[in-house]
Amino acid sequence: MVKNIWIFNGSNSRFASGVFEDIEEAEKWIDKYKLTGVLTSYPINISVYDWAIGNGFFTPKREEHRSSEFIGKFSSASLEHFHYEDGKRD
């Protein structure tokens, strides 16, 4: 079983501003500061790229899909995630 961790990225931020073991603690923090952004559940000890391929959410079709630049920027909308505005889940 793959363990997950919740990571919050504020609106227009380049880096995560919070990392949580459970969604309840993350949502308390988001509500406390009335934050706007996205909370995403990431698998631990596996890249999102490998996770997406392993779960059938992505198949590399072009050579660029195997490049380090592509893999280093890869994300997947298939990860469980929630959007927040002013601390409330959309």
Please report, rounded to a whole number, the percentage of residues in the chain having pLDDT higher than 70: 98
End-to-end CA distance of the chain: 29
- For residue 13, being part of any structural domain is answered with no
pLDDT in tens, 33-86: 999 999 999 999 999 999 999 999 999 999 999 999 999 999 999 999 999 999
Domain that holds residue 57: 4-8+20-82
- For residue 15, being part of any structural domain is answered with no
pLDDT of residue 1: 67
Taking the C-alpha atoms of residue 31 and residue 25, their distance in angstroms, rounded to an integer, is 10
Question: pTM of the prediction?
Answer: 0.90
pLDDT in tens, 43-57: 999 999 999 999 999
**Angstrom distances, CA of residue 79 to CA of 33, 48, 61, 63:** 24, 8, 20, 24
pLDDT of residue 62: 97
Report the domain count for the chain: 1
- For residue 67, being part of any structural domain is answered with yes
- For residue 87, being part of any structural domain is answered with no
